[in-house]
Structure 1
Amino acid sequence: MAEVVSPITRQVSKEKCKAGTPNLDINLKDVEDCLIYDRRGESFPFKNLYQDSKSVIIFVRNFLCYSCKEYVDDLSKVPRGALEEAGIRLVVIGQSAHQHIEPFCSLTGYSYEMYVDPKRSIYQKLGMKRDETFTDSALTSPHVKSGLFMGQIKSIWRAMTSPAFDFQGDLHQQGGAMIVGPGSRVHFCHFDMNRLDHMPITWLLQLAGVQQTLDFSDEPKIIHV
């Protein structure tokens, strides 16, 4: 009889779970009734995202963050057919006002679900970091192409040219990624330690059960595995 494998419910580093990585006690009941908002400003409970399906939910820092923008650039390249075949919802959550969702989707070409948690209730209750920590286990995101200096210049320029000049979220708040559902089951979670500590998209999708992956090193191409 095959061994039953328990779902992953702990922080996992990108160096195959280095010693010292803390365990996380994730209880979705703490956040299931927190309100999130769509691009029209309509609200609904967070639990609606995962009650009836498995969902990959990615929390970003703020919509002006250059590393988040470039990460979502690559999320936009994920084939819709690959998600549909695996029965996966792909969701991005930010922490700005809802008015910034539409411009950010247009900027990145992201066509999947995107919502905001303007009070950062979910970020805080789940224990996502505020402020940055740089360690050996927090590797540089393969999806961020800009260096620190040019990235910050791009962020400042977008802030200056935005119709609503604001920071579009708490600049110190870090994000993360989760695979959850159906129901309150947590399969995987990763909380970013800094702006570059994103979960590689290919690994995240494979953990969720997607049978295709993308190579972001050059031109996107489908690799069947």
Structure 2
Amino acid sequence: MAGPAPPVTQQVGRARGCGRRPELQRLREAARCPVLDADGRSVPFQALFAEQKAIVLFVRNFLCYTCKEYVEDLAKVPKAFLQESNVRLIVIGQSSYHHIKPFCSLTGYTHEMYVDPPREIYKILGMKRGEGNKASGNEVHFLHLDKNRLDHVPINTVLQLAGVKTVNFSNKPQIIDI
């Protein structure tokens, strides 16, 4: 019996024979933009993924119920899984930094969260209002632009691409056979 098929990814590094793709150039430009943490401190976007592999997820806004549910599921990713793989899990929103702590409290999210109030990174990466973008890794290994508000990449797909253990999201208790 064959094992599961590997995930399909959209590589956004070098295109064969064509030099660099526009996505990589846009990411370099976006890397210079600042994001704000929960206390309003400015952090260069590049600092979030420059020295450690990171999964960076952009959400539409903190009032979007599908984004809220997605972040609630991200909150279920154990910190130990991320630490074992030396990966950071980061969510970036479009709101004011004042909304980060209440949103984290509402969703139970305890990983890193930042905001891009002027939407500079969103614009540079080509995201319109109502779109999200996911990327994982020091170098971009995977990029996804949502086609609609329900088109989020499955969390386990993103975790798997970053080399992180996947999470059981079912509400059923696991039966351990001893």
The normalised TM-score by structure 1 is: 0.66
CA root-mean-square deviation: 1.8
TM-superposed CA distance for 1:83, in Å, is 0.5
Letter aligned with residue 52 of structure 1:
E
Match of residue 25, structure 1, among 23, 26, 29: 23
Check if 1:175 corresponds to 2:173: no
The residue type equivalent to 1:43 in the other structure is S
CA distance in 1, matches of 2:84, 2:141: 19
Deviations 1:159-190 (A, max 9, x none): xxxxxxxxxxxxx3311110131xxx211111
Deviations 1:89-116 (A, max 9, x none): 0000000010000000000000000000
Q: Which residue of structure 1 lines up, in the alignment, with residue 7 of structure 2?
A: none
**8 Å contact from structure 1 (residues 77, 220) kept in 2:** no
Q: How many Å separate the matches in 1 of 2:98 and 2:35?
A: 13
- Residue correspondence of structure 1 range 12-161 to structure 2 within 5 A: 25-27=23-25, 28-128=27-127, 130=128
Determine the structure 2 residue equivalent to 1:217.
Answer: 170
Distance 1:218 1:62, change over 3 A: same
Gaps of 5+ in 2: 1-9, 14-20
What does 1:194-205 correspond to in 2, within 5 Å?
Answer: 194-205=148-159
Following superposition, the deviation at residue 215 of structure 1 comes to 2.2
SS at the partner of 1:92?
Answer: strand
- Identity percentage over the alignment? 52
Write the distance in 2 (CA, Å) between the matches of 1:111 and 1:53: 19
The Cα of 1:217 is off from its aligned counterpart by 3.1
Deviation at 1:73, TM superposition (A): 0.4
Relative to structure 1, the CA distance from residue 219 to residue 35 in structure 2 (aligned partners, 3 Å threshold; closer, same or farther) is farther
Residue ranges of structure 1 left out of the alignment (5+ in a row): 1-6, 11-22, 131-171
| Count of equivalent residues | 157
